């Protein structure tokens, strides 16, 4: 560190952040000319975006440095949020907002000949996630910083994020998302922070000086993890936390022997192999595929992160018994569960702690969040694969399991079934490591993400563990969303209108203040402005649709939106079937009858996992229906169908504020929470949904009269499935009509849709499309009818927004902080 005599000088030289337009412009021009080596003669929008971001980045780094220094000095307990996905979207607008320099930047670039909106469009999304789970992690790091908690995110720096989706001939076609092509101003490469990570090899037992038998892991392949730090600025606070993403690099650039002997090609192959570890995000949502590379990613990221966390702790010279007073680690799903084993390995093998002492530390450090009950999403690793890649970890898992089962056997003597059911090792062929069980056993708290979901995990997939541990270990933290991005950035006009009634923008940090607009729900003046803003947002989306789909949509029509990953359980198939039903119904109408129809634009969007045939078929059907309906002169503006390609965070910011109705229609009990449901309501759209996930709590908050619910309840799903499986139940007649139309070839060769149609017929209808179809159509009818009464509709929309305070991710983070992490904010 710097000698005391020089410190004064350092302090005098401390960087002055830009504070007004002129000082911003100086920074901007300096970056254009020096960082980018351009000038006013060749500064295009991309260069201007990069220069503006560099200027803002400098600010963030100053704040980041101060925050890290302060947090180090205060030395409070920190939360480390381990997530394999961070679906951040664009950074620039958020950075301007949170740093409070939006106006300065906007007018600053304006004088220099640029439009801020055009610059923002230059930024590629940081799309390091699949859907809700990854976006939740992004909202959480925003909230952790905004509420001044000392916390870091840890993830992987994928070179390729979620693939880009194009629609070719109605089908999804994937292409790689090379988001780092033009450099990334929002990250700080830390080449000096490099951690060696080992795979494969073998374990060896030996007797140490104290006469104890100990295990060592040796002889494996090494790769390096390099840190890239992404500053996460809090809103209206100086706190700027860190998101550390790891990239893999070879430990040695080349094999010099091979290089010298002229074998150039294979000399680089090892380096390429190492780099593939963090190269690409697995594109599956709610689905696990047991590939070795995926397990490598998980261990690589976990090993690097824990090494970092432990190193930081050791600097404080505290005893190990203090570890969990300084460190909380949250497992975002089972993806980082190997961390439980890695920490035990560090403590026992490397630091020489007794097993039981070490295990107490481990359990009090970790918390585990479960995000799904779908069986196809629960991670299990074949023992042979696991043992080959991580031999020492497998031994440790066997020990953890042994001690756990001994405890269970004491509690339930001779209950062999119980032992088999809760064992971390599933006795299948080959045996499998059940990661969720390991996560439960290795954590002090386990939480679900909405009330129904948290109840369901206790009564279904984790029932035995509730018997063993008691129910206190299991809790609920309902998900939330950040109002900064999902209200203020996405819908600045609505935010402004709300601020005019609340009296300030304080609601962006205390979302319960939204309550203050409730008295204006029926105020004609307020309603008028509310309606104008919705129309403005619809026009913005209509322009996007015109540009990308070439379809004209009427702003008077009801905008009905379902955007999310395509999945059978989310039932986009049911939605498109009802659109077909609507189409044939309108087609059969007289001119007089048509006058009564509420015009609708049915908007779909979302990616299918590349190997998910059924989801891809649904996309094809939506596009084929769109083709037929939009070009049918009998229909006109009464019905339009649009599939928006490449749905991502930036598109969500345009689509969500424009919706009148959004659909969240999963089979009850399958959607753990959903978070887009919260975003839509916060932006004044109403929900058409099932009694599932967070829809239930949204209903409680906004009132039953302000949501359209339908469908069977979670408690009857098992029975219905059972009946379907063993009885030849008739298909819902309206659904039958729809399937007949598909069969007739109106939407192209019926063979294309054969398996989709088959999947909702008779005993195959696992997601109960047929059972819910009638009540779904009825709810749709009610929506059509209610939309005609705009005065009531708008007042429902205002009332709903006024009651959305609970769904701020700041509230969710406070709950985690208080009941799982036991951390306090750092005083400013
Ligand atoms: C998910 C659930 O499917 C969503 O319901 C939930 O909102 C989200 C965040 O908790 O997690 N689980 C998952 O694997 N992908 C998700 O989006």
Predicted confidence (pLDDT) per residue in 669-705, tens digit: 999 999 999 999 999 999 999 999 999 999 999 999 9
Report, as residue numbers or ranges, the catalytic residues.
Answer: 371, 564-565, 570, 675, 679
Cβ of 675 closer than 6 Å to ligand 1, yes or no, is yes
What are the distances in angstroms from CA 318 to CA 232, 487, 595?
Answer: 28, 43, 76
Centre of ligand 1 to C-alpha 644, Å, is 22
Mean per-residue pLDDT for 114-126?
98
- Same domain for 609 and 715, yes or no, is yes
- Same domain for 471 and 553, yes or no, is no
Strand partners for 244? 154, 229
- Same domain for 509 and 452, yes or no, is no
How far apart CA 658 and CA 642 sit, in angstroms, is: 14
Residues 6+ apart with CB under 8 A from 509: 146, 235, 236, 810
DSSP state of 178: B
Cβ of 371 closer than 6 Å to ligand 1, yes or no, is yes
Domain total of the chain: 2
CB 368 within 8 Å of CB 461: no
Residue 178: Cβ within 10 Å count: 12
Per-residue pLDDT tens digits for 723-753 = 998 988 899 999 999 999 999 999 999 999 9
Per-residue pLDDT tens digits for 363-406 = 999 999 999 999 999 999 999 999 999 999 999 999 999 999 99
371 Cα nearest atom in ligand 1: 12
Which of 133, 666, 696 most suits a substitution to test ligand 1, by most atoms within 8 Å of the C-beta? Answer: 133
| Residue 285 belongs to domain with CATH number | 3.40.50.2000
Residues 6+ apart with CB under 8 A from 325: 77
Does 454 reside within a domain?
yes
Which of 138, 330, 371 most suits a substitution to test ligand 1, by most atoms within 8 Å of the C-beta? Answer: 371
Centre of ligand 1 to C-alpha 594, Å, is 40
- Same domain for 487 and 467, yes or no, is no
Cβ of 133 closer than 6 Å to ligand 1, yes or no, is yes
- Same domain for 543 and 654, yes or no, is yes
Nearest CA to ligand 1 atom 11: 133
Query: Is residue 656 over pLDDT 90?
Result: yes
Does 500 reside within a domain?
yes
377 Cα nearest atom in ligand 1: 14
How far apart CA 130 and CA 183 sit, in angstroms, is: 22
Cβ of 342 closer than 6 Å to ligand 1, yes or no, is no
Does 777 reside within a domain?
yes
Strand partners for 561? 603, 662
* Host domain of residue 263: 75-90+125-478+815-821
With bands split at pLDDT 50, 70 and 90, how would you rate the model's confidence at 255?
A: low
Cβ of 129 closer than 6 Å to ligand 1, yes or no, is no
Which of 85, 369, 372 most suits a substitution to test ligand 1, by most atoms within 8 Å of the C-beta? Answer: 372
- Same domain for 405 and 499, yes or no, is no
333 Cα nearest atom in ligand 1: 14
First-last CA distance in the chain: 25
Cβ of 138 closer than 6 Å to ligand 1, yes or no, is no
How far apart CA 725 and CA 709 sit, in angstroms, is: 26
Which of 129, 131, 481 most suits a substitution to test ligand 1, by most atoms within 8 Å of the C-beta? Answer: 131
DSSP state of 568: G
Task: Write down the mean pLDDT value for the chain.
Answer: 97
In percent, the amount of the chain with pLDDT more than 90 equals 94
With bands split at pLDDT 50, 70 and 90, how would you rate the model's confidence at 254?
A: low
Cβ of 285 closer than 6 Å to ligand 1, yes or no, is yes
DSSP state of 131: S
Query: Is residue 155 over pLDDT 60?
Result: yes
| CB-count exposure of residue 46 (10 Å: 0-12, 13-18, 19+) | middle
Per-residue pLDDT tens digits for 534-579 = 999 999 999 999 999 999 999 999 999 999 999 999 999 999 999 9
Mean per-residue pLDDT for 200-217?
92
Query: Is residue 316 over pLDDT 60?
Result: yes
DSSP state of 515: G
Q: Residue 664 has what pLDDT?
A: 99
Cβ of 304 closer than 6 Å to ligand 1, yes or no, is no
Centre of ligand 1 to C-alpha 209, Å, is 50
Centre of ligand 1 to C-alpha 812, Å, is 15
Does 280 reside within a domain?
yes
Residues 6+ apart with CB under 8 A from 21: 104, 107, 108, 111
Nearest CA to ligand 1 atom 4: 674
Query: Is residue 256 over pLDDT 70?
Result: no
With bands split at pLDDT 50, 70 and 90, how would you rate the model's confidence at 63?
A: very high
Centre of ligand 1 to C-alpha 448, Å, is 10
How far apart CA 694 and CA 86 sit, in angstroms, is: 21
672 Cα nearest atom in ligand 1: 5
Cβ of 286 closer than 6 Å to ligand 1, yes or no, is yes
Cβ of 671 closer than 6 Å to ligand 1, yes or no, is yes
DSSP state of 429: S
CB 297 within 8 Å of CB 84: yes
With bands split at pLDDT 50, 70 and 90, how would you rate the model's confidence at 151?
A: very high
Question: Which residue has 């084993």 as its token pair?
Answer: 341
CB 363 within 8 Å of CB 272: no
Does 112 reside within a domain?
no
- Same domain for 526 and 426, yes or no, is no
- Same domain for 540 and 412, yes or no, is no
How far apart CA 6 and CA 579 sit, in angstroms, is: 72
How far apart CA 502 and CA 507 sit, in angstroms, is: 8
Query: Is residue 253 over pLDDT 60?
Result: no
Mean per-residue pLDDT for 126-130?
98
In percent, the amount of the chain with pLDDT more than 70 equals 99
Cβ of 673 closer than 6 Å to ligand 1, yes or no, is yes
DSSP helix/strand/coil, 212: coil
CB 649 within 8 Å of CB 90: yes
* Predicted structure pTM score: 0.98
Q: Residue 827 has what pLDDT?
A: 85
Cβ of 449 closer than 6 Å to ligand 1, yes or no, is yes
565 Cα nearest atom in ligand 1: 17
Query: Is residue 265 over pLDDT 90?
Result: no
Q: Residue 30 has what pLDDT?
A: 98
Does 445 reside within a domain?
yes
The first and second tokens of residue 282, run together, are 């697995």
CB 788 within 8 Å of CB 646: no
How far apart CA 219 and CA 488 sit, in angstroms, is: 54
Centre of ligand 1 to C-alpha 16, Å, is 42
Nearest CA to ligand 1 atom 13: 286
Which of 672, 698, 809 most suits a substitution to test ligand 1, by most atoms within 8 Å of the C-beta? Answer: 672
Residue 351: Cβ within 10 Å count: 12
Question: Which residue has 């990854």 as its token pair?
Answer: 134
Sheet with 558-563, strands from edge to edge, namely 639-644, 600-605, 558-563, 661-664, 686-690, 708-710
Does 699 reside within a domain?
yes
Q: Residue 100 has what pLDDT?
A: 94
- Same domain for 264 and 320, yes or no, is yes
- Same domain for 612 and 683, yes or no, is yes
CA angle 223–174–575, rounded 5-degree value? 125
Closest CA to 625 of 566, 592, 684, 584: 584
Q: Residue 266 has what pLDDT?
A: 75
With bands split at pLDDT 50, 70 and 90, how would you rate the model's confidence at 262?
A: confident
Does 111 reside within a domain?
no
- Same domain for 518 and 614, yes or no, is yes
136 Cα nearest atom in ligand 1: 9
- Same domain for 449 and 505, yes or no, is no
Cβ of 479 closer than 6 Å to ligand 1, yes or no, is yes
CA angle 511–531–659, rounded 5-degree value? 70
How far apart CA 405 and CA 117 sit, in angstroms, is: 59
């Amino acid at each position: 560190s710097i000698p005391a005599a020089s410190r004064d000088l350092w302090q005098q030289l401390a960087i002055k952040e830009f504070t007004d337009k002129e000082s911003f412009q100086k920074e901007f021009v300096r970056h254009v000319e020096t960082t980018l080596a351009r000038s006013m003669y060749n500064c295009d929008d991309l260069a201007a975006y990069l220069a503006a971001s560099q200027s803002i980045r400098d600010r963030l780094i100053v704040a980041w440095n101060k925050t890290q220094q302060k947090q180090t000095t205060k030395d409070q307990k920190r939360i480390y949020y381990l997530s394999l996905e961070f679906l951040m979207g664009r950074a620039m607008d958020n950075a301007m907002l949170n740093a409070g320099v939006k106006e300065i930047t906007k007018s600053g670039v304006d004088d220099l000949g640029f439009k801020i909106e055009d610059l923002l469009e230059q930024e590629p999304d940081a799309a390091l996630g699949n859907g809700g789970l990854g976006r939740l992690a992004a909202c959480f790091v925003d909230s952790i910083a905004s509420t001044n908690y000392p916390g870091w995110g840890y993830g992987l720096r994928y070179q390729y994020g979620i693939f880009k989706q194009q629609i070719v001939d109605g089908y999804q076609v994937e292409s790689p998302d090379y988001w780092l092509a033009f450099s990334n101003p929002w990250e700080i490469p830390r080449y000096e922070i490099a951690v060696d990570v080992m795979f494969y090899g073998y374990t060896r037992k030996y007797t140490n000086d104290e006469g104890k038998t100990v295990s060592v892991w040796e002889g494996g392949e090494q790769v390096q993890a390099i840190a890239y730090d992404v500053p996460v600025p809090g809103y209206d606070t100086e706190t700027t936390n860190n998101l550390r993403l790891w990239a893999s690099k070879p430990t040695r650039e080349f094999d010099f022997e091979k290089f010298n002997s002229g074998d150039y090609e294979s000399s680089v192959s090892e380096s390429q192999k190492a780099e593939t570890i963090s190269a690409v995000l697995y594109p599956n949502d709610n689905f696990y595929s047991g590939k070795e590379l995926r397990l490598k990613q998980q261990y690589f990221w976990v090993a690097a992160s824990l090494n970092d966390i432990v190193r930081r702790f050791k600097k404080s010279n505290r005893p190990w018994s203090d570890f969990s007073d300084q460190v909380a680690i949250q497992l975002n799903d089972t993806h980082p569960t190997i961390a439980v084993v890695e920490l035990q390995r560090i403590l026992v093998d490397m630091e020489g702690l007794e097993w039981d002492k070490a295990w107490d530390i481990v359990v009090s450090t970790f918390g585990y969040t479960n995000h799904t009950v779908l069986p196809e999403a629960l991670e299990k690793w074949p023992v042979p694969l696991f043992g080959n890649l991580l031999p020492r970890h497998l031994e440790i898992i066997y020990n953890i399991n042994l001690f756990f089962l001994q405890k269970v056997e004491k509690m339930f003597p001779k209950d062999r079934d119980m032992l088999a059911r809760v064992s971390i090792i599933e006795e299948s062929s080959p045996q499998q490591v059940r990661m969720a069980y390991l996560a439960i056993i290795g954590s002090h708290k386990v939480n679900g993400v909405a009330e129904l979901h948290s109840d369901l995990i206790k009564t279904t997939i984790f029932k035995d563990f509730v018997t063993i541990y008691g129910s206190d270990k299991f809790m609920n933290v309902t998900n939330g969303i950040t109002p900064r991005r999902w209200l203020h950035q996405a819908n600045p006009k609505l935010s402004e209108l709300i601020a005019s009634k609340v009296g300030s923008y304080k609601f962006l940090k205390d979302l319960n203040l939204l309550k203050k607009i409730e008295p204006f729900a029926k105020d004609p003046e307020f309603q008028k402005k509310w309606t104008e803003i919705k129309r403005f947002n619809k026009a913005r989306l209509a322009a996007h649709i015109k540009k990308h789909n070439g379809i004209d949509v009427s702003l008077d029509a009801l905008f009905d939106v379902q955007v999310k990953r395509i999945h059978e359980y989310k039932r986009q198939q049911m939605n498109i079937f009802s659109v077909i039903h609507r189409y044939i119904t309108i087609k059969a109408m007289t001119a007089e009858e048509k006058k009564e129809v509420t015009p609708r634009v049915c908007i779909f969007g979302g990616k299918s996992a590349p190997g998910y045939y059924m989801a891809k078929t649904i996309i094809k059907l939506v596009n084929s229906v769109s083709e037929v309906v939009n070009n049918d002169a009998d229909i006109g503006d009464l019905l339009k169908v649009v599939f928006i390609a490449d749905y991502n965070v930036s598109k969500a910011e345009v689509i969500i504020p424009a919706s009148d109705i959004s659909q969240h229609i999963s089979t009850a009990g399958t959607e753990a929470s959903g978070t887009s449901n919260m975003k839509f309501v916060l932006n004044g759209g109403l929900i058409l949904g099932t009694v599932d996930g967070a829809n239930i709590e949204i209903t409680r908050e906004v009132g039953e009269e302000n949501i359209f619910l339908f469908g069977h309840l979670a408690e009857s799903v098992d029975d219905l499935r059972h009946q379907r499986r063993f009885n030849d139940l008739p298909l819902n007649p309206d659904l039958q009509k729809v399937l007949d139309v598909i069969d007739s070839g109106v939407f192209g060769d019926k063979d294309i849709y054969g398996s989709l149609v088959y999947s909702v017929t008779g005993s195959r209808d696992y997601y109960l499309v047929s059972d819910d179809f009638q009540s779904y159509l009825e709810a749709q009818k009610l929506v059509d009818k209610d939309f005609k009464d705009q005065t009531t509709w708008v007042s429902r929309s205002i009332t709903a927004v006024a009651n959305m305070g609970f769904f701020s991710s700041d509230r969710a983070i406070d709950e985690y902080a208080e009941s799982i992490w036991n951390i306090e904010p750092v005083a400013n």
